[in-house]
Amino acid sequence: MQGELIHEFRARVRDPDGHLYRARVLGRSRDGKARSWIGWLEFTPVGSGGRVQRTDPETTQPYREALVYWATGLEPVYLEGAVARAVAARAGSAASSR
């Protein structure tokens, strides 16, 4: 899913296995309508190896500025849960494709 960078977090986040990631919120207008935006989280591994992890859409906001506001209010505990969901979703989709 392609998106526009909305917010990048300074704090790093660890997944349940202890891998360290940089977190950021990406977003895009929904169905080409400038007044409705969806946002998701993307986690990039710190250091060598690892895979980029992405969540499914986490929020829908009426306009871009509302998405920015949502993103800047996220706490570290939310990011930890989101990276765990992203890792689990990828593991689930990999297992179902076997």
Q: What is the pLDDT of residues 49-83, one digit of tens each?
A: 779 999 999 999 999 999 999 999 999 999 999 99
Residue 97 resides in a domain: no
With tokens 């706490």, the residue in question is 75
3 state SS of 19: coil
Using an 8 Å Cβ cutoff, are 71 and 4 in contact? no
Q: Does residue 9 carry a pLDDT above 60?
A: yes
Residue 98 resides in a domain: no
**Which pair of structure tokens corresponds to residue 7?**
């917010």
Domain of 39, in residue numbers = 4-92
The β-bridge partners of 81 are none
Residue 18 resides in a domain: yes
pLDDT of residue 2: 84
Residue 82 resides in a domain: yes
Distance between CA atoms of 45 and 35, rounded to whole angstroms? Answer: 32
Domain tally for the chain?
1
Residue 51 resides in a domain: yes
**Which pair of structure tokens corresponds to residue 22?**
């940089």
- Which H helix or E strand runs over 72? helix 64-72
